[in-house]
Amino acid sequence: MIVLLAILSVFINPEFYKIALTVATPLMFASLGGVFSETTGVVNIALEGIILMGSFTSVVFTYLTGNVWFGVLMAVVSGIILALLHAWGSIKWSGNQIVLGTAITLLAQGLTGFLMEPIFGQPGQTDFVGKIDEITIPGLVEIPFIGQVLGEISPFVYIAFGCVAFGWWLIYKTKLGLRMRAVGENPEAADTLGINVYAIRYFGVIMSGVFASLAGAYLSVGEIGQFKELMSGGRGFIGLAAMIVGNWNPVGAMLASLFFGFFGAFSNQLQSLQEIQVAANVKSLFDTIPFILTIVVVAGVVGRSRGPAADGVPYEKHD
Residue closer to other proteins, measured from CB, 140 or 178: 178
Residue closer to other proteins, measured from CB, 130 or 177: 177
Angstrom CA distances, 63 to 56, 214, 228, stand at 11, 18, 14
Residue closer to other proteins, measured from CB, 105 or 249: 249
| DSSP bridge pairs for 135 | 153
Task: Note the residues at the interface with other proteins (CB under 8 A).
Answer: 173-175, 177-179, 181-182, 185-186, 188-195, 308-309, 318-319
CB of 166 to other proteins, least distance (A): 11
Give the Cα separation of 239 and 222 in Å (integer).
18
CB of 199 to other proteins, least distance (A): 13
CB of 308 to other proteins, least distance (A): 8
Across 191-226, b (16+ Cβ under 10 Å) vs e yields beeebebeebbbbbbbbbbbbbbbbbbbbbbbbebb
**The residue type at 217:** A
CB of 304 to other proteins, least distance (A): 11
**For 306, phi and psi rounded to 5 degrees?**
-135, 125
CB of 310 to other proteins, least distance (A): 10
What is the number of residues in the chain? Answer: 319
Residue 252 Cα to chain centre, angstroms: 14
Residue closer to other proteins, measured from CB, 281 or 318: 318
Residue closer to other proteins, measured from CB, 71 or 184: 184
Residue closer to other proteins, measured from CB, 133 or 188: 188
Q: What is the dihedral of CA 26, 132, 154, 140, to 10 degrees?
A: -160
Residue closer to other proteins, measured from CB, 84 or 170: 170
Q: 44 with 80: CB under 8 angstroms?
A: no
Q: Is the dihedral of CA 304, 160, 25, 201 positive or negative?
A: positive
CB of 201 to other proteins, least distance (A): 15
CB of 197 to other proteins, least distance (A): 11
What DSSP state is assigned to residue 152? E
CB of 37 to other proteins, least distance (A): 17
For 126, how many CA atoms within 13 A lie in the half-sphere containing its CB?
30
Residue closer to other proteins, measured from CB, 125 or 247: 247
Which ranges of the chain would DSSP assign to H, the alpha helix?
2-11, 14-39, 47-65, 68-87, 97-120, 146, 155-173, 175-185, 187-192, 197-217, 235-245, 250-272, 280-283, 289-301
